[in-house]
Amino acid sequence: MSDLHKYANLRLIKTFGRLKGRPLSKNQKLGLALHKQKYNFFLETEKKIWLEVGFGNGHHLVELAKRNYDKLIVGSEVFENGVATACFSLFQNKIQNAKIFHGDVRNMSNLFKRKTVDRFYILFPDPWTKKRHKSRRLLSSSNVSYFSKILKSEGYICIATDVEDYCIEIENTFSNLDQFERIHVSPKYKNLNFFLDVKTKYEQKAINKGLSPSYLVYKKV
Ligand SMILES: C[S@@+](CC[C@H](N)C(=O)[O-])C[C@H]1O[C@@H](n2cnc3c(N)ncnc32)[C@H](O)[C@@H]1O
């Protein structure tokens, strides 16, 4: 059994909140049906894979797919309403280069086969601010080592957060890992070579509250 398969069998600490929200609208129900028929993730592609973890309502994912038709944009999300909204939006926008994994990113066993991901986007992951919940953070060192295992060399991990102490924790985690080079010069500068000029729902919420998010980019060397 490979290290990655062993990893997949470990009991995973829950990094997310709700799995379901309000009853699905008609469009969201169609979105879920489309997920099964058209957008369900499977790993058969010649294209480079960019993986967005925890895409929420999928607004950023759809834009990423529109602007990068030469890549396969894969999204992973546990929240059913988010999966449903994103799939409906992919359909409305006639997107052909996107697939959705409905579930915990750490259970994407197809990706375990080899280093498959060229780029990660992890935007405004749940911050778990209470001290007793901090072990749930998606960017814990054990989860980062999982992301690193499926990331190709020369690949990037692009991260955004509006929580200062999470940003510091992430910076510390990556600075302890020899295989990553810090690309961002200042977290407060959003480098449009890596990040889109569109705002995610949680990014907009943070800005409305007067917060100044951090944007971090690490390269696997
Ligand atoms: C705070 S929301 C941010 C959503 C979106 N990225 C944005 O910026 O608006 C974090 C999302 O990550 C998802 N999430 C958390 N842990 C996850 C995991 N292990 N696998 C997939 N999705 C996860 C949650 O369900 C939630 O929708």
Predicted structure pTM score: 0.95
Ligand 1: residue whose CA is nearest its atom 4: 56
For the chain, the domain total comes to 1
What CATH number did the domain enclosing 27 receive?
A: 3.40.50.150
**Mean pLDDT, 10 residues at a time, the chain of 221 residues:** 52 91 96 94 89 98 98 97 98 97 88 84 96 95 92 97 97 96 97 98 98 98 95
Q: Would the CB of 123 count as within 6 Å of ligand 1?
A: yes
DSSP state, 37? I
Expressed in angstroms and rounded, the spacing between residue 76 Cα and the centre of ligand 1 is: 8
Q: Would the CB of 104 count as within 6 Å of ligand 1?
A: yes
Q: What is the pLDDT of residue 151?
A: 95
Q: Cα dihedral sign for 193, 158, 37, 108?
A: positive
Q: What is the pLDDT of residue 92?
A: 98
Ligand 1: residue whose CA is nearest its atom 14: 54
**What b/e sequence results for 148-173 when a residue is b if at least 16 CB atoms lie within 10 Å of its CB, and e otherwise?**
bbbbeeebbbbbbbbbeebbebbbeb
Of 68, 216, 58, 76, nearest in space to 150 by CA? 76
Q: Are 122 and 53 in contact (CB under 8 A)?
A: yes
Residues near 134 by beta carbon (within 8 Å), at least 6 away in sequence? 128
Which atom of ligand 1 lies closest to the CA of 204?
A: 9
Give the structural domain span for 154: 3-12+21-220
Q: What is the pLDDT of residue 2?
A: 53
Which atom of ligand 1 lies closest to the CA of 79?
A: 25
Q: What is the pLDDT of residue 8?
A: 53
